[in-house]
Structure 1
Amino acid sequence: MKITLPDDVKQIIETLEQHGYEGYAVGGCVRDSILGRIPNDWDITTSATPQQVKKLFLRTVDTGIQHGTVTVLMGKEGYEVTTYRVDGEYEDARHPKEVTFTANLEEDLRRRDFTINAMAYNDSEGLVDVFGGRADIEQKVIRCVGNAEERFGEDALRIMRAVRFSAQLGFTVDPDTAEAAKKLAGTLSKISAERIQTELVKLLVSPHPDYLRYAWEYGITAVVLPEFDRTMETPQNNPHHCYNVGEHTLEALRNIEADKTLRLAALFHDFGKPQTHTTDADGIDHFHGHAKISAELANNIMHRLKFDNDTLNKVKVYVRYHDLRPELTEKSVRRAVSKVGADAFAEVLKLKMADTLAQSPKWQPEKKAYLKELTALYHTILEKQQCLCIKDLKISGKDLIEDGMKPGKEMGEILAKLLELVLEEPQRNEREWLIGKSRELRNTEG
């Protein structure tokens, strides 16, 4: 088969070959090319040692020279060129204790995780596919290279990667690979939080976020996200629901756009239900206050998995307010938007729709109609440019100081009260009225 290599990649491989070395594009770029996708990056493998590679190219960076990797700079682009290697013993279920360089391409391909990632290509030799990667792509299978237990024993993160690739590509996991994943899932406890986070997010933003089910089935979530396992054990015997909490979560994930913060919010939005689960005298399940607990759990989990603060804060807000149901009046919706934040409210609406689509079909028409009207009122409020927060007020702390007020806690309280009054009646947001009202409030306080 013919793969169109970028000019820079061709040039690197040709330079290696002209000096008596082998060179191939390898791994994900070959896989993606066969799948008809545009590779994110192109990695090259070679029989040349790092020092030999450095002698052939003017501009190089030692990115991982102890593992045989040199980055070759071509214009503004960098390409990782790695020497064929055999990995030594793995001590931490992630990194080999040592690597040994080899002149044999097949030995290098043998150490890789999955058959679909263990193919190499250059224009002179064509596709090198020793382990059946192309056939597995055609059969839509994720299969470890060689013995699955050995591959997972070398690098426990590969267990999550199996499910992640499955979700990204819509492939099934080979039964032997799945069994090995189940057997060794506990070793994921040795993997850093940052790496777990990366794989979880890639799975969630994939075309099949509901494949998180397989992470649960294999025992992966029991190690990295035990809160999800509890949702899979929590029933929802309630007329508004047709799934248990975990199944409902998977369905919500399927029904929300592939945005990182929204998919995370959909994942976490009902994590508080196991803690708040009660059953009334009629056998109906209730989850009062679950949104608040879910937001707290989301905060704890995202800290544990070392998420950045911006993502964490956005997700917390979406989860906290996903169950907010204001009356369908401009005043009530205006207060809700002020509470949540104008930008965040738009995302909360998306989460509410995904939540609705994962509930009992019987009540969906009514709930969709409510959301449609809620969305219309939200847009009306934005179009009218109504005041929604203190910075939207037609006066500021500076105006109050000029009017004789001393800076301090009282000033913040006065501005908060003025905002409440303006949320009640938007036409009050006029400088003259606000100054007068602030004087009145100060006199009352005094």
Structure 2
Amino acid sequence: MKMEIPKKAAEIIEELMAKGFEAYAVGGCVRDSVLGRIPEDWDITTSARPEQVKQIFPRTVDTGIEHGTVTVLMDQEMFEVTTYRVDGEYEDHRHPKEVTFTASLEEDLKRRDFTINAMAYNPQTGLVDIFHGMEDLKRQVIRCVGDPGERFDEDALRILRAIRFSAQLGFSIDEATKAAMSERAESLRQVSAERIRVEFVKLLISDHPERIREACVLGITRVIMPEYDAIVGVAQHTPNHIYDVEEHTLIAVKNIAAEPALRLTMLFHDFGKPVVKKTDGDRDIFYRHPEVSAKMCREIMRRLKFDNHTLEKVYRLVKWHGLKYLPNDISVRRALNRVGRDIFEEFIKVQRADISAKNPAVVPKKMRQLSEKEDIYRKILRRGDCFEVKALAVNGKDLIEAGISQGPILGAVLERLVELVIDTPEFNEKEKLLELANQVKSDPTIFNEKEYFFEH
């Protein structure tokens, strides 16, 4: 078979071969090319030692030279070139204690994780497929190279990678490989949170995020995210639901755009339900579950070392996902004030995905109402209605000049003024607001914030 290799990668392979070395495109780029996908990176493996690669190419970076990897720069593009190697003993289920360079391509391919990632190609030799990766691609199977137990003992992260590849490609996992994954799931505790996070997010934004269920069955989530296991089989006897919490969650995850923050929100949005669940007669009640889910989500994301921006965005979306508001101007302005203009577009997407996973009997009406709310939201933005402090006709300086104290009282007064303007937009005039501010100052409870409510 003939494979199209990008010009710069082909030049590296040709130059290495011209100097008397073997060189191949290897791994994921070969797999994706066979599948008709566009590879993200083109990795190259060679019989040349790192110092020989550095002599051949004028611009290189020692990105992992102790493991044989040199990054070759071709104009603005970068390509990892790695010497054939045999890995030594693995002491931490993640990294080999030492590596030994070899002249054998077969020995190099033998150390790789799955057969579909253990193929190599160059234009002269064609495809090198010692471990029947092509056959497994046709069968749509994820299978370890050699003994699966040994592969996972070498690198425990491969356990999660198997699920991730299964989700990305829509492939099943070979039974022997699955058995070894289940037996060694506990070894994932020795893998860094950052590496777990990267693989987990790739799984979540794949075409088949529902494969998380298989990770649960194999005991993987019990190690990396036990909160997921807690939602399995939790019934929801309410008019809004016919699915248990896990099934509802997986449908909702599948029905939202494959963006990390959105998929994470749908995964976490009901994690609090098992914690707050109460049953009254034949009906289940999940009072205040969004706040509990949000707290759990924050703990999980901190544990997995997510960046603060993503963490806070997901936390807020989870916290407000069940906010009940009516399709009228005042109610939508209140929702905007609570949720925040910056994430309101995502908030609508989250509510739409949540509704899509409810009882089909209630979905059409709820979807119509959400569309009405979305239309009102867009009209509010076009009109420039006030629903937040920065849109008030007065600011903190105005209130200070009017005799309102600085500090917490000042902020509280501004928030109360927003509440009043949300209900009565014509109040958003400087003189009227200063008059109202003095009333609030004398009695801070006079315009108490209205309570918000959540879907159960």
Q: What TM-score does the superposition give when structure 2 sets the normalisation length? A: 0.94
Give the equivalent residue in structure 2 for 1:393: 392
CA distance in 2, matches of 1:430, 1:215: 57
Counterpart residue identity of residue 380, structure 1: K
Matches within 5 A, 1:226-305: 226-281=226-281, 283-305=282-304
1:300-348 deviations in Å (ceiling 9; x for gaps): 0001000011111111111111111112321112111111102322212
- Secondary structure, in 3 states, of the residue corresponding to 1:361? coil
Matches within 5 A, 1:30-429: 30-281=30-281, 283-403=282-402, 405=404, 407-429=406-428
Counterpart residue identity of residue 267, structure 1: L
User: Which has the larger displacement, 292-301 or 408-417?
Assistant: 408-417
Give 1:219 deviation, angstroms.
0.8
Counterpart residue identity of residue 180, structure 1: A
CA distance in 1, matches of 2:243, 2:141: 29
Give 1:154 deviation, angstroms.
0.7
Give 1:361 deviation, angstroms.
1.1
CA distance in 1, matches of 2:401, 2:323: 39
CA distance in 2, matches of 1:280, 1:407: 48
CA distance in 2, matches of 1:213, 1:70: 38
CA distance in 1, matches of 2:67, 2:335: 55
- Secondary structure, in 3 states, of the residue corresponding to 2:426? helix
Give 1:96 deviation, angstroms.
0.6
Counterpart residue identity of residue 284, structure 1: R
Give the equivalent residue in structure 2 for 1:18: 18
Counterpart residue identity of residue 78, structure 1: M
Give the equivalent residue in structure 1 for 2:430: 431
- Secondary structure, in 3 states, of the residue corresponding to 1:301? helix
Give 1:263 deviation, angstroms.
0.3
| Structure 2 unmatched ranges of 5 or more | 445-456
Give the equivalent residue in structure 1 for 2:450: none
Counterpart residue identity of residue 190, structure 2: K
- Secondary structure, in 3 states, of the residue corresponding to 1:44? strand
Give 1:238 deviation, angstroms.
2.7
Give 1:440 deviation, angstroms.
5.0
The answer as to whether partners of 2:348 and 2:374 remain within 8 angstroms in 1 is yes
The answer as to whether partners of 2:227 and 2:271 remain within 8 angstroms in 1 is yes
CA distance in 2, matches of 1:400, 1:238: 48
Give 1:289 deviation, angstroms.
1.2
User: Which has the larger displacement, 132-141 or 199-208?
Assistant: 132-141
- Secondary structure, in 3 states, of the residue corresponding to 1:231? coil
CA distance in 2, matches of 1:444, 1:353: 40
* Cα 1:279/1:407, change in 2 over 3 Å: closer
- Secondary structure, in 3 states, of the residue corresponding to 2:97? coil
The answer as to whether partners of 2:144 and 2:177 remain within 8 angstroms in 1 is yes
CA distance in 2, matches of 1:268, 1:40: 29
User: Which has the larger displacement, 372-381 or 287-296?
Assistant: 372-381
1:13-58 deviations in Å (ceiling 9; x for gaps): 1111111111111111111111111111111100011111111111
CA distance in 2, matches of 1:441, 1:341: 24
The answer as to whether partners of 2:404 and 2:438 remain within 8 angstroms in 1 is no
Counterpart residue identity of residue 152, structure 1: F
- Secondary structure, in 3 states, of the residue corresponding to 2:367? helix
- Secondary structure, in 3 states, of the residue corresponding to 1:288? coil
* Identity across the alignment (%): 55
Give 1:431 deviation, angstroms.
2.7
CA distance in 1, matches of 2:404, 2:273: 47
Question: After TM superposition, where is structure 1 displaced by more than 2 Å over at least 4 residues in a row?
Answer: 237-240, 398-411, 430-445
CA distance in 2, matches of 1:444, 1:375: 36
Give the equivalent residue in structure 1 for 2:451: none
CA distance in 2, matches of 1:361, 1:148: 43
- Secondary structure, in 3 states, of the residue corresponding to 1:362? coil
* Cα 1:441/1:358, change in 2 over 3 Å: closer
- Secondary structure, in 3 states, of the residue corresponding to 2:100? strand
Counterpart residue identity of residue 220, structure 1: I
1:106-128 deviations in Å (ceiling 9; x for gaps): 11001000111111111111111
CA distance in 1, matches of 2:202, 2:348: 24
- Secondary structure, in 3 states, of the residue corresponding to 1:232? coil
Counterpart residue identity of residue 347, structure 1: E
* Cα 1:444/1:193, change in 2 over 3 Å: closer
Counterpart residue identity of residue 365, structure 1: P
Provide the aligned length of Structure 1 versus Structure 2: 444
Give 1:403 deviation, angstroms.
4.5
1:238-295 deviations in Å (ceiling 9; x for gaps): 33222211111111111111111110000000000110111112x2222111111000
* Cα 1:288/1:441, change in 2 over 3 Å: closer
Give 1:406 deviation, angstroms.
5.2
The answer as to whether partners of 2:420 and 2:427 remain within 8 angstroms in 1 is yes
- Secondary structure, in 3 states, of the residue corresponding to 2:184? helix
| Structure 1 unmatched ranges of 5 or more | none
CA distance in 2, matches of 1:47, 1:57: 15
Give 1:409 deviation, angstroms.
2.9
RMSD across aligned C-alpha pairs, in angstroms? 1.5
